[in-house]
Amino acid sequence: MKEKLGIYVRSGAPETKKFDMYKPITYQPEFLLRTLVWPMCTLRRVIRKGTVKKVRMEGLQSPFILVCNHNAFYDFYVLESAMKPYKAVYPAAVDDFIGREFLLRLAGGLPKRKYTSDLNTVRQCQEAIKNNNVFGIYAEARYSLCGVTEYDAFTDSVGQLVKLMKVPCVVLNCKGHHLYDPFWGNHMKRDIMGVEAVMTQIYTAEEVEKATVDEINEKIREYLYNDDWRWQSENRVTLKYKKRAQGLHKPLYQCPHCMTEYKMNSKNDTIFCEHCGKSWWLNYYGELEASDGNTEFKFPSDWYNWEREQVKKEIQEGRYYFECDCHVNDLPNSKGFVRLGRGKFVHDMNGLRVEGIRDYDKEPFKMKLDAASQYTIHVEYNYRFGNFKDCIDMNTLQDTWYVFPENCDFSVTKISLATEQMYKEIWRKRNEEKEKKEKAE
């Protein structure tokens, strides 16, 4: 029997057929681009009074690698609008294919399990470049949690790929999209106008040849950086939507006044702590104003970065630990999720692991992601295919499991931040030890 969403199968063993990650690339049909995709996407951009500024793009021919920042689904409309006359293929998360695999592949989508080291992506890039297409990458591989570029979700393999392909590199930086449709906003669109995008060729093919991988990554990060809250404030972009702060407690889970975690909440244009009672108004320009006159952070992005530092301290002091009950859903293919079973989720200094008993045959299941190999983790707020609950998306090359914590206070934002900080701390220590050893020799 299927749930009303038509997504989960409540009983029975999951299908053995999984996503075909090696299926030949479907290249975008030019007729479809010219008659439907480009006109529709351009119209969506124009409605928001969006602009696209192109820098060093004159005379550029495909193939090239396109790297984009990622704030909302609206990014895709601006991307395709800016892409004309180029055709492209894009790696996309496997859950994007649910119920629409044919259409997404037709649009150039390539299924990818998030944050896994997959040589197939390199092969697909080589094939796309060989066939004179653009290879598009959302480097963060997820929507920004709080409207600021997620550098810790950005892997150095992007620069390695650019260097390997020996083709030009272009960066598309979009501003204002998080404000229009924030990841934490329950898909409630806001009436914001004047969004901006800048499309820049940061390297020609000849410049790629001369640059190191580190230089390429550094330049991509420089041109990719965006903070929507600062952009809104500096440009005095007005947003009078009455519920503009509703949901903001999802990324801002810790109170900077009383330091309590998991007791933040929000309603309409205000975010507040249920433990100490302090509240902050989010004004028309994306700035926070505290009810007691003592505003710790002017922008939500500063608050979010402060939380990152708090988690970093826990990691460095070896105090971080989280454990909870959970239920787990498996995503074998584009037909949708399958109820796997209930179990226990643990996140500690060793990494992430989940284990439990399968519903359909009472056999154990287990997945473990080592902290030293997991540079970030994908999380969801009020996930639409999970009874609108927060969850953690765990991936191997073969499986995608969505883990839904239960019977506890928690924040998937903190789990995401802790995963990133743990990875950085482990490799910082390893590199220090390596340097000491080399000096001693």
Residue given tokens 């055709």 in the structure block: 87
Distance CA 394, CA 138 (A): 19
Give the pLDDT confidence score for residue 402 in this predicted structure: 96
191: left (phi over 0), alpha (psi -120 to 50) or beta: beta
Rounded to 5 degrees, φ, ψ at 320 are -70, 130
pLDDT digits (tens, 9 = 90+) for 231-248: 999 999 999 999 999 999
First to last CA, the chain: 66
Q: Over range 146-162, report the average pLDDT.
A: 91
Tell me which residue of 127, 102, 128 sits closest to 32, measured CA to CA: 102
Give the pLDDT confidence score for residue 187 in this predicted structure: 83
> CB–CB of 74/193 below 8 Å?
no
Asked: is 322-430 a CATH 2.120.10.30 domain? The reply is no
**pLDDT bucket at 216, cuts 50 / 70 / 90:** very high
Has residue 56 got a pLDDT over 80?
Answer: yes
Tell me which residue of 220, 230, 242, 138 sits closest to 175, measured CA to CA: 230
Q: Specify the range with the lowest mean pLDDT, choosing from 7-21, 57-71, 124-138, 318-332.
A: 7-21
Q: Over range 5-27, report the average pLDDT.
A: 70
Give the pLDDT confidence score for residue 151 in this predicted structure: 85
Has residue 269 got a pLDDT over 90?
Answer: yes
Q: Over range 133-140, report the average pLDDT.
A: 94
Q: Specify the range with the lowest mean pLDDT, choosing from 3-17, 79-93, 424-438.
A: 3-17
Distance CA 65, CA 71 (A): 20
Token output for 391: 């969850």
**pLDDT bucket at 6, cuts 50 / 70 / 90:** very low
Token output for 309: 């530092």
To the nearest 10 degrees (0 to 180), the angle between helices 412-440 and 300-316 is 50
Has residue 7 got a pLDDT over 50?
Answer: no
Give the pLDDT confidence score for residue 231 in this predicted structure: 97
pLDDT digits (tens, 9 = 90+) for 322-341: 999 999 999 999 988 989 99
SS3 for the chain is CECCCCCCECCCCCCCCCCCCCCCCCCCCHHHHHHHHHHHHHHHHHHCCCEEEEECCCCCCCCCEEEECCCCCHHHHHHHHHHCCCCEEEEEEHHHHCCCHHHHHHCCEEEECCCCCCHHHHHHHHHHHHCCCEEEEECCCCCCCCCECCHHHCCCHHHHHHHHHCCCEEEEEEECHHHHCCCCCCCCCCCCCCCEEEEEEEECHHHHHHCCHHHHHHHHHHHHCCEHHHHHHHCCCCCCCCCCCCCCCCCCCECCCCCCECCEEEECCEEEECCCCCEEEECCCCCEEECCCCCCCCCHHHHHHHHHHHHHHHHHCCCCCEEEEEEEEEEEECCEEEEEEEEEEEEECCEEEEEEEECCCCCEEEEEEECCCCCCCEEEEEECCCCCEEEEEEECCCCEEEEEEECCCCCHHHHHHHHHHHHHHHHHHHHHHHHHHHHHC
Tell me which residue of 213, 215, 206 sits closest to 168, measured CA to CA: 206
Q: Are strands 134-138 and 88-93 parallel, antiparallel or unpaired?
A: parallel
For the chain, give the mean pLDDT: 93
Report the 10 Å Cβ neighbour count for 281.
Answer: 16
Q: Are strands 364-370 and 270-273 parallel, antiparallel or unpaired?
A: unpaired
Rounded to 5 degrees, φ, ψ at 226 are -155, 145
Q: Over range 117-142, report the average pLDDT.
A: 93
Give the pLDDT confidence score for residue 441 in this predicted structure: 74
What percentage of residues in the chain have a pLDDT greater than 90? 84
**pLDDT bucket at 386, cuts 50 / 70 / 90:** low
User: Which amino acid is present at 164?
Assistant: L
**pLDDT bucket at 437, cuts 50 / 70 / 90:** confident
Tell me which residue of 131, 188, 184, 128 sits closest to 161, measured CA to CA: 128
Q: Over range 18-22, report the average pLDDT.
A: 90
Q: Over range 153-160, report the average pLDDT.
A: 88
Domain ranges (residues) in the chain: 30-234, 322-430
Give the pLDDT confidence score for residue 15 in this predicted structure: 61
